Amino acid sequence: MKYPVTPDGRYMVVRGRLWRVANPFLSEPERASHVQRLMSARREVKAAKAASDDARLAAARRSVNDAKVALGERGPVWWQDGARDYNRHLVKNTPYRDWYERLNEPKA
């Protein structure tokens, strides 16, 4: 598994850090639309960097953030049980630590 997903499905782990996954309750057309916006915004970030256009880059980064919020990867959490958000935290500093350490144990 390249990026393990926490047992509750809220985060994936990349280089020891938790990253919130997209809201699984989005409809497929809605999710696809947000992903398309995100990819377009990321291409615009690349183009703005290549053009050394700071204003364009700032606008493109806002668009990336807006798409990530719409996907549920940033902004308000998409779950409803009141659980704390650990987005961008090191997994070793969260309640997911034991689960993650067990993933890396040698198989018998």
Domain identity same for 31 and 68: yes
Domain identity same for 37 and 13: no
Domain identity same for 42 and 66: yes
Q: Which domain holds residue 31?
A: 27-72
Domain identity same for 61 and 93: no
List of long-range contacts for 78-82, beta carbons under 8 Å, 24+ apart: 78/23, 78/24, 78/25, 79/8, 79/10
Domain identity same for 88 and 51: no
- 72-88 tens-digit pLDDT: 999 999 999 999 999 99
2 pLDDT more than 90: no
- 4-54 tens-digit pLDDT: 999 999 999 999 999 999 999 999 999 999 999 999 999 999 999 999 999
Domain identity same for 5 and 34: no
Residue 36, domain member (yes or no): yes
Distance CA 40, CA 44 (A): 6
Domain identity same for 41 and 65: yes
Listed in sequence order, the residues at least 6 apart from 34 whose beta carbon sits closer than 8 Å to its beta carbon are: 22, 26, 67, 70, 71
Both structure tokens of 41: 């915004």
Residue 79, domain member (yes or no): no
- How many domains does the chain divide into? 2
